[in-house]
Structure 1
Amino acid sequence: MRIGILGAGGMADALGTQWARAGHALMVSGRDPGRAAATAATLTAAARAADAPHGLPATAGTFEEAAAFGDVVVVAVLEEAADQVVRAAGPALRGKPLIDVTNAVGPGAYDVTRSVAERIAALTGGHVVKAFNLCHVDVWRMTPPVFDGRPLAVPLCGDDDHALGLARTLVTDLGCTPVHGGGLDRAKLLEATAAFMIGLWISGADAQAVLPPLPHSGPHPDEP
């Protein structure tokens, strides 16, 4: 798969490293060409060290070039820069599968009326899937993210079957389990979950302990 990444920071590096090891071709983009090139070099080194199936080097380009390059494009920039970045990426994003990993964090930053993912969809005309937004960047550096014997589950919110299928592949490439979280209209709930849980983690609470295990979560529709 060809993956264009809008952004050259921690999430681009962490997720991109895992996808490079899985054999995908990547192009990284950013406002700073030097940083984008350095991130691309890191991803190339990771692929070669892992003897990735295709051994393709990662490259660096502009936002517009990364948008045109990818079979899927990952929006991995600060939330406050997302609008400007996807506009800079241009018309290549229209109709394309997009994965939004951003979070609006900080007091008053989260908008309960509309998700960042829906905003990106409206600006680009792309098929957006919200994913990878519930964990700290260092979790995505784990190979794989497994806790107490359970692979990390990654919720996906989106409307387009093709885009969701590509997102599921990228989740499993990390050793994680994709979980259908509903349509893109539910992305605002996924973003709200991140905003709430991040606040608990920052306060030192074990946010994972907030919810009971599945057998204790009440009756389910598929049960007799």
Structure 2
Amino acid sequence: MRIGIFGAGGMAAALGGQWAAAGHEVMVAARDQAKAAEISPKVGTWSEIARTSEVILLAVPAASVAEVVAAAGDLSGKVLIDCTNAVGPGARLTVPDQAAGIALSAKDAHVVKAFNLCAVDVWRMTPPVFGGRPLAVPICGSPEAVATVSSLVRDLGCTPLNAGGLDRAKLMEATMAFMVGLWFDGHDAQACFPPLPV
């Protein structure tokens, strides 16, 4: 699969590196071209990478999302994965429904919310397994786009979870902010969600 990545930070490097190792063609657009080249030798502008990719991971700071999506140009038919978190002081959401806003800006793209619930170090694990259980990754979006992203989740050694349509992405974003707030306060947030009895 031809995967474009917008951004060259930790999430871009972690997920991009894993997907490249799984045999995908990874291309990167970022303001810092040198950092982009550390992720992939295939570096271009926002619009170049958008044009040549089937799937795009949006991994820029939340404050830059609108500018980057606009600079990318035509995203028609592309699967656009939003892994961003618009979180401010006190683990409060600064944008209450980030994925929906992206979908309004990229009207003909297939926007999917995924990969936003875990810290970057989790995505560097090969594979992310905890207590013998592979990490489960919720995905919100259209069924076709969720199916595409599910294959990328499996390539990480994780279990994809179809979490419903993009209208449910705001719930996932709120869950992230709530759980991060617990972690910042020193609580074991994972203990809130015990496994189902077998």
Give me the TM-score of the superposition, normalised by structure 1.
0.84
Q: Which residue of 2 aligns with 1:99?
A: 81
1:116 to 88, 98, 101: 98
Is the contact made by 1:100 and 1:131 (CA closer than 8 Å) also made in structure 2? yes
Is the contact made by 2:17 and 2:39 (CA closer than 8 Å) also made in structure 1? no
Structure 2 unpaired stretches of 5+: none
Q: Which residue of 1 aligns with 2:47?
A: 64
The 1-side partners of 2:98 and 2:93 are apart by: 11
Aligned-partner residue type, residue 27 of structure 2: M
Deviation string for 1:125-170 (max 9, x for gaps)? 21111000000000000000000000000000002x3211110011
Is the contact made by 2:93 and 2:177 (CA closer than 8 Å) also made in structure 1? no
Is the contact made by 1:27 and 1:66 (CA closer than 8 Å) also made in structure 2? yes
Quote the sequence identity (%): 60
Aligned-partner residue type, residue 20 of structure 1: A
Is the contact made by 1:103 and 1:133 (CA closer than 8 Å) also made in structure 2? yes
Q: Give 3-state SS (helix, strand or coil) of 2:60's partner.
A: coil
Does structure 1 residue 137 correspond to structure 2 residue 120?
yes
Aligned-partner residue type, residue 124 of structure 2: R
The 1-side partners of 2:49 and 2:114 are apart by: 19
Is the contact made by 1:110 and 1:192 (CA closer than 8 Å) also made in structure 2? no
Q: After TM superposition, give the deviation of residue 18 of structure 1 in Å.
A: 0.4
| 1:7-18 aligned within 5 A | 7-18=7-18
Does structure 1 residue 154 correspond to structure 2 residue 137?
yes
Structure 1 unpaired stretches of 5+: 41-57, 217-224
The 2-side partners of 1:212 and 1:164 are apart by: 26
Does structure 1 residue 175 correspond to structure 2 residue 157?
yes
Deviation string for 1:94-133 (max 9, x for gaps)? 2211111000112354333xx2111111101211110000
Q: Which residue of 2 aligns with 1:208?
A: 190
Q: Give 3-state SS (helix, strand or coil) of 2:170's partner.
A: helix
Deviation string for 1:33-87 (max 9, x for gaps)? 22212222xxxxxxxxxxxxxxxxx411111111112111110111111010110
The 2-side partners of 1:61 and 1:111 are apart by: 29
Is the contact made by 1:5 and 1:26 (CA closer than 8 Å) also made in structure 2? yes
Does structure 1 residue 86 correspond to structure 2 residue 69?
yes
Q: Give 3-state SS (helix, strand or coil) of 1:158's partner.
A: coil
The 1-side partners of 2:81 and 2:36 are apart by: 19
Q: Which residue of 2 aligns with 1:73?
A: 56
Q: Give 3-state SS (helix, strand or coil) of 2:87's partner.
A: coil
